[in-house]
Amino acid sequence: MKLSVKDVMRCVGCQSCMFACSRRSGNAGLSNTCIGIKSTGGISRGFSVIVCRSCENPPCAAVCPTGALVAKEGGGVRLNSAKCIGCGLCKDACIIEAVFWNEEQNKPVICVQCGYCVDYCPYEVLELKKDVKGVTNDSE
């Protein structure tokens, strides 16, 4: 399953998805969120919804110097936190800024495509799609 942005124009910027993502860890706040909602230059112009596209050849894993980020079969990456030295190269390598950062732990937060956020989007901006091999999803 892959997380996908169904219709970015419906996003109201409430960030309920960001809080949901962080809440998976059990705590409140935003430190562990790996979804990002930001305006596209003032909120009247609408929002960008940034989710991991689970690339098949993920640039973030390609630059990881310690093997902490490993490409998964079928797309996306898995983080082995014990190997991560917090260098931030993965964050810089993702040009859509979908590698998020836990400032308190100085480690990346990587989307595991669980879809928990989808249930907290009241405007149906997000969806969890079945993988179709060779077809990339259309998230922004």
Partner 1 sequence: MIANDSLSKVLYIDLTRKKFEIKDRSDLFEKYLGGTGVATQLLLEECPEGIDPFHPDAPIIFAVGPLTGVFPLASKTCAMFKSPHTGDLGESHAGGRSAIAIRMAGYGAIVIKGASEMPLYLSIHGGKVIFKNATTIWGMKDGSIPARVMRQNEKGEGLRAIFRIGTAGENLITYSNVTTETYRHFGRLGLGAVFGSKKLKGMVILGKKAIEVNDKKGYRNLYDKIYKAATESPVMKKYHDVGTAINIKALNFIKALPVKNLQFSSSDSLEPLTGEAIAEKHLARRVACAHCPVACIHLAFLREPYDDDPYFYKTSPVCYDFELIYSLGTMVGINDPTNMLKLIDIVEQVGVDAMSMGVILAWMTEMYERKMITLDDLDGVEIKWGDSDAYIELVKKIVKPSTDFIKACSRGVDYASGQYGGHEFAMQFGKNEMAGYHTGPSGYLGFLLGARHSHLDNGGYSIDQKDLVKIDLTPQQVVDKLFEEEGIRQILSSVAVCFFARGIYDLKMVSDAIKLLGFDLSENQLTEIGKQIHLNKYKFKMREGFLFEKLNIPERIYETKDPTGKITKKFISEGIDYAKSMIN
Which residues bind to partner 1, rule: CB under 8 A?
Answer: 12-16, 19, 22-23, 25-33, 36-39, 41-44, 46, 103-104, 120, 122-123
Q: Give me the residues paired with residue 50 across strands.
A: 36
Q: Give me the residues paired with residue 77 across strands.
A: 71
Q: Give the shortest CB-52-to-partner 1 separation in angstroms.
A: 16
By beta-carbon proximity to partner 1, the closer residue of 5 and 37 is 37
The sign one gets for the Cα dihedral 87, 92, 98, 103 is positive
CB contact at 8 A, 34 and 111:
yes
Exposed, middle or buried, 127 (CB in 10 Å: 0-12/13-18/19+)?
Answer: middle
Contacts of 44 (CB under 8 A, 6+ apart): none
By beta-carbon proximity to partner 1, the closer residue of 37 and 68 is 37
Q: Give the shortest CB-20-to-partner 1 separation in angstroms.
A: 9
Q: Give the shortest CB-77-to-partner 1 separation in angstroms.
A: 21
Collapsed DSSP state (helix, strand, coil) of residue 3:
strand
By beta-carbon proximity to partner 1, the closer residue of 73 and 104 is 104
By beta-carbon proximity to partner 1, the closer residue of 71 and 94 is 94
Q: Give the shortest CB-7-to-partner 1 separation in angstroms.
A: 14
